[in-house]
Each structure stands twice: as structure tokens, then as C-alpha cells.
Amino acid sequence: MNLPRQRYEETFVLNLGPQHPATHGVLRIKVTMDGEYVVKAEPVLGYIHRMHEKIAEQGNFAQFMPYTARMDYLHALALNHGYCLVGDRDAGIQVTERAEYIRVITVELNRIASHLLWWAAFLLDLGGFTPLLYAFDDREQILDLLERTTGSRLTYCYFRFGGVYNDIDDEFISDTRTFIDRLRKRLPVMYHSLVTGNIILIKRIKGIGIISAEQCRRYGASGPVARGSGIDFDVRKHEPYSIYPELDFDIPVYDEGDSMARYMVRMDEIEQSLRIIEQALDKLPDGPIMAKVPKNLRPEAGTCYAAVETARGSLGHRLLCNGDRNPYRLKLRSPTFSNLSLFAEVAEGMMIADVLAFLGSLDLVIPEIDR
């Protein structure tokens, strides 16, 4: 979308945030406006920076685990997984098979919960309140399941180097299967019939915020943002880890590059996560949930990198060790930072109402950026 030929003589600056419901966190966007059109958009970060990477250097390896959930708190188990994955690889720890399955089951449940919350908040930004009630109804079912096993409902500290700290029982398995059947029945009716096919939604997001595949590559975008622009990349498939290579699932990809495409990627991913969980439950082996791990981890000096696929994209951990009991350096590669970086270029020339719809389609979690 381009600015009209006849420009206003004066522009004005509009501040979105740092406390604004449409920014989904403590994010400020300095928008230079020409009437209702955006001339320039500048995301301003740093309002909630907490020095997580520096904190990782201060304690031993295990002490940083609770902090991972304070970054992407909507898909916290994926951040648990990412930190454990790089620690396990660096220390040469062989995770038990049952623990690997439990990790994937819980991470995928958490992925669905994250997508449901995004769906609810996105539609609320666009003026729809009723879908939020449906999404939170289903999300509560997931939180009940995870709370029973992990002890938490949002900021999890469930994974351990070498496994998980608590096993799942038959009741968890039974209730998870019941939830899968429930959500599969509700998706076509309460989600797609009510919302996805709604002409109001289609008019608000179809053709809005078009991101090209070239822009995604230039800014390092990943996750649903990149897959909504035709880039077929998912860490679970293309840089396999854990038990994902043993499971059959598809990677939703859409070529349109607009907000509707990103919406559809996430809705399809919910269905694929249900497939993953169901297969993992069917194949769940018996055995221990923890490998034998030293109380104080001391990996050999060197560097190790590992990435996982979160609800927002490729999350990377680079761990640098010097043989001590604490990380010498831990660097996180944030998918949300890369996805937000392309916002300024794409938003230029859009109307302010469309900018808010486009911003919501990126599914930003600001504490993951301001970590």
C-alpha cells in the first residue's frame, strides 16, 4: 500500500506504547503520521530489559533454568527445552527416551496454548471479544494438564539436564487424549466457521502487511512469519532434535505473505501439534525420566549451539564454557526480535488501523526481546 499522491503539508508523531494494548507488551512504536497513513515507524526497545544473559553467568547451570520461562512466557516450555538441549549437548548427556517423549508432549501442548492466546488477543485487537472466551476455555484445559505435571500454569521450570523432574501418569495421558478429541471437534465450528471464514476478519487482514520471502531472509525472520511468506523452514524438520524425526507431521506453508497467511499457519499448526502429541502418547516408552547427571555440571571448555522451534520461530542458544561450574557466556537468538525488525519497512505507507492488524499478526512477546 502506497501513500496518496497528494501529501499533507504537515506530519505529526504518534506514540504507540510503551503501555498500549495493541503492542502486546512493553513496546513503544514511534509512528510519524501523514493523516491516517504511516510515513515512518520506529520500534523502541529496552523498557523491560532484565539482563538475563548476564544473570546466566552468575550462577551454576541449573540455577538459570527458572529464568528461561521469564522470557517467552507464552511458550515457556520451549525455552526450557532450548536451554536443556544446548546443555545436554555440551556436557554429552544422553537424555532418557521416556523423558524425550514427555518433553515433546508438554512442549506441543504449550505451543497450542500459546497459539490460542495469540488468536484471542489478535481478534480482540480487531474488535472481536467473543472468540477470546472460546480460546481461553480451551487454553484452561491445557493449563490444567500442565499444572498437574509441572506444578505451574505459566512460567514453567519443568525440564532438567538429562530429562524432566516429574513423570506423567495414566490420568494425564487419558485427559490429554480427551482434550485432543475436544479441540478437534471445536476447531471447525468455534474457530473456523465463526472466525476464519468471517468476512469481517477477511477484509481486515487479507492483503494486509505483505512480507516477501526476500524480506524474511534479509531480516532473519522465522516461524509462522516466514512460513506465511512461503519459506518452508521449521527447526523440528530441518535441524531435527529430540524425537521429532520419529513423528509424522506437516509444516504449514502459505505463499501470500499477508496477515491472513500468518493466521492460517498458526491455525494449521494447532492441528499438527495435536497430531504430534497423539503419536507421542501412542509411542510413549517405559523407563526412567532422568539420566545420571552430576549435581554440579562442568562441561569442558568450548562452545555449543542448539536451536528449537518455539511458537514464534527459531530460538537459538549459544553456550560458551571455560570448564567452570557456571556458563562463561550464554547468547540467545530471539525469533521475535528478527520478526519485529522487518515491521518498520513493511508498515511504511499503511493506514494506522492496518498497522495494528499487521503488528498483531507477528505474535510478539516483548520480554523475549528485552531479555
Position 7 scores a pLDDT of 54
pLDDT on residue 20 = 78
d(CA 357, CA 97): 43
Place of cell 523498557: 47
- What CATH number was assigned to the domain covering residues 50-363? 1.10.645.10
Predicted pLDDT at 141 = 96
* Residue 3 pLDDT greater than 60, yes or no: no
Which whole number is the average pLDDT over 125-145? Answer: 95
pLDDT in tens, 246-293: 999 999 999 999 999 999 999 999 999 999 999 999 999 999 999 999
For 193, other C-beta atoms within 10 Å of its C-beta total 11
362 phi, psi to nearest 5 deg? -80, -15
Average model confidence (pLDDT) across the chain: 93
For the chain, state the CA radius of gyration.
Answer: 21
Beta bridge partners of 286: none
What is the per-residue pLDDT across 29-46, written as a single tens digit (0 to 9) for each?
A: 999 999 999 999 999 999
**Whole-angstrom distance, CA of residue 339 vs CA of residue 362:** 7
Tens-digit pLDDT profile for residues 103-126: 999 999 999 999 999 999 999 989
Residue 73 has pLDDT above 80, yes or no: yes
Determine the average pLDDT of the residues in 63-77.
Answer: 94
Who's near 130: CB < 8 A, 6+ residues apart?
194
Q: What is the predicted pLDDT for the residue at 17?
A: 80
| pLDDT band, residue 5 (cuts 50/70/90) | very low
Rounded to an integer, what distance in angstroms lies between the CA atom of residue 259 and that of residue 362? Answer: 8
Task: Band the pLDDT of 9: cuts 50, 70, 90.
Answer: low
Considering the entire predicted model, what is its pTM?
A: 0.94
127-136 mean pLDDT: 93
Whether 368 contacts 334, CB under 8 Å? yes
> How confident is the model over 200-215, as pLDDT tens digits?
999 999 999 999 999 9
**Candidate from 248-262, 288-302, 304-318 with smallest mean pLDDT:** 288-302
Percent of the chain with pLDDT over 70: 98
Q: Mean pLDDT, to the nearest integer, of 322-348?
A: 94
Q: Which helix (H) or strand (E) holds 309?
A: strand 302-310
pLDDT at 4 over 70: no
In this predicted structure, the answer to whether residue 198 has a pLDDT above a threshold of 80 is: yes
| pLDDT above 60 (res 8) | no
Question: Which residues contact residue 304 at a Cβ distance below 8 angstroms, ignoring those fewer than 6 apart?
Answer: 86, 89, 90, 318, 319, 321
**pLDDT reading at 21 higher than 90:** no
pLDDT at 210: 97
CA distance 272 to 278: 10
Banded model confidence at residue 2, pLDDT cuts 50, 70, 90? low
